[in-house]
Amino acid sequence: MNAIVGTPDKRSALVIGGASGIGFATARTLAAEGYRVVIADVNEEGAREAAARLGGEVTAIAMDVTDEASVQRGFEAEQGVHAVVDCAGLSMPGALTELELAHWRTTIDVCLTGTFLVIKHAGRQMADGGSITCIASLNARQPGTGLAAYCAAKAGVLMLVQVAALELAERGIRVNAISPGLVDTPLVAGAALVPGLIEEYLENTPLGRSGRPEEIADAVAFLASSRAGWMTGSTIDLNGGAHLRRYPDVVGRVKAMMEQAAP
């Protein structure tokens, strides 16, 4: 098996979805650890602003994970990258019987098909002995009302990671996932608008608080390093213990909010 490629002053990392939230924190952490970081995001302007904020050798490119040509171009421009982190994601909640097919497809396209495309082209272009880390979710293993598409997509990511770990092992490329719980990012900002939802979530988190993007970034840095050199096909549950209890009733909370707001 190949050794981990690259020295601390020459390693490169491609962080997809790096313009904000967990992705931005990851880009900042990897840059601080000596990586030459490329921030890729569907929001090209946001990616460039994020790169400018970090300075140094951090650069930015546009990448839409739902467009294979876009993903392919990004990886061809960054051939030989040592660490790939896929943070792209979104959630479009809705009860199963009410969920629009377009919303289902959008969620699957970004969260699952997008991950497939990232792994596919990372596997073609990245350096032997490198690392791919996919950001999954607590919902990959814990169901939540109103989150059918998101839960299904993230559960699929975990199995995709295991298959990729098998197929890329001969080149020494390790593929792992991190399943965060509630993290203070723009992605979950909408949840704070639903009365009682955040409180219910924290009641079911043994450590009693939400996570910080930097905590996820630290786990990514570990997985990308030689300290995790014998770790592949694995998932880190990083959620304050929330996977040990139950998920909030999203549909019930939203329904109660709408009933209260009705004239």
Task: For 153-192, write each residue's pLDDT tens digit.
Answer: 999 999 999 999 999 999 999 999 999 999 999 878 788 8
Closest by CA to 22, choosing from 179, 174, 255, is 179
Task: Compute, in degrees rounded to 10, the torsion defined by CA atoms 14, 18, 24, 26.
Answer: -40
pTM for this entry: 0.93
pLDDT band at 8 (very low <50, low <70, confident <90, very high): very low
Burial of residue 109 (number of CB atoms within 10 Å: 0-12, 13-18, 19+): middle
Name every residue whose Cβ is closer than 8 Å to that of residue 160 and which is 6 or more positions away in sequence.
112, 115, 116, 119, 134
**Domains, the chain:** 12-189+212-246 (3.40.50.720)
Q: Supply the angle between the helices 213-224 and 21-32 in degrees, to the nearest 10.
A: 50
**pLDDT score recorded for residue 232:** 98
Task: For 103-155, write each residue's pLDDT tens digit.
Answer: 999 999 999 999 999 999 999 999 999 999 999 999 999 999 999 999 999 99
If you search the block for the tokens 């009682």, which residue do you land on? Answer: 196
Return the amino acid letter for 129.
G
CA distance 40 to 71: 10
Residue 92, token pair as written in the block? 């479009």
Residue 55, token pair as written in the block? 């300075």
Note if 150 is an active site residue. Answer: yes
Residue of 35, 150, 201, 247 with catalytic role: 150
Task: For 190-218, write each residue's pLDDT tens digit.
Answer: 888 899 999 999 999 999 999 999 999 99
